[in-house]
Amino acid sequence: MDKGLDISVVVPLYNEAESLPELVAWIDRVAQKNSLSYEIIMVDDGSTDESWAVVQSLKEQYSAIRAISFMRNYGKSAALYCGFEMADGEVVFTMDADLQDSPDEIPEMRRMILEDGYDLVSGWKRKRYDPVGKRWPSKFFNLTARLMSGIKLHDFNCGLKAYRRKVVKSIEVYGEMHRYIPILAKNAGFKRIGEKVVEHQERKYGVSKFGMERMIKGYLDLISITFMSHFGRSPMYLFGGLGTLMFLFGGITAVWIIIDKIYSQHSGLVWRGVTEQPMFYLALLAIVLGVQLFLAGFLGEMINRRATERNHYLIDKRIEK
């Protein structure tokens, strides 16, 4: 593999056979015009159409293509993770294979990385050609992500992004976390995150592979990454802390009820049996839940320290230079 490349373009794809020739030609044209040495890393995420055959034919025309094909559909995060592992360019780009991201944005985004000092530059599709049913939920989703992460981006989920090479080698994209790569980068210490307004192309071939269920997954992932960023390495801090507080609350409350009953009984005051007081059972519940939360934190610590194969994917085929 050649070293010292100016750019790497990682293209995750799933059933995009029709758009691939046009996309590769477009990237090549932009690279040649700007005298950029480049590679295109195509990750076929288990396509069921002729995508892999198209990639193989394109390799015969463009030596800059490298590619892998998964044995099944793992998702965009898996594709990006493997693409990042392969990338050798000084600046690494990601873009979708559906031609809605414009390679013409590459030179300026590269300049922002190298000259303006950004670690990551995210595209912002200010004018979108998606239906209203997708645009408004996306706006609300991005607003929530901004508030929870503190990163001032308008479009977290834009597929067109540019990264300093060190960034993609330092973060781990897994599950469905591709929507939150800026948050992963920030958590890894890369805080120079910028944004560029980019052109959003109308879809030319095929149909979108994402439905409304991605909004639900998106919010669940946002909760997950917020938790992971604060407690991912030490789940005991959260579960153990909550468990300890609940255990102490329940224990102190139970002891207080027992002491109050004994004192009232010996003082000739009106008293109620311990088991006749609802608060006693709430105290017992708090004790039990406290113990369970503490054990959950302990088990989380044990599992976290042994999670060495979180990113393991079966690769069926591979193309190298």
Each residue's pLDDT tens digit, 101-144: 999 999 999 999 999 999 999 999 887 666 555 666 677 777 87
Decide if pLDDT at 308 tops 70: no
| Mean pLDDT rounded to a whole number for the chain | 86
Decide if pLDDT at 310 tops 60: no
In sequence order, which residues have a C-beta less than 8 Å from that of residue 10 and are 6 or more positions away? 41, 43, 80, 83, 84, 86, 87, 92, 93, 94, 95
Each residue's pLDDT tens digit, 21-35: 999 999 999 999 999
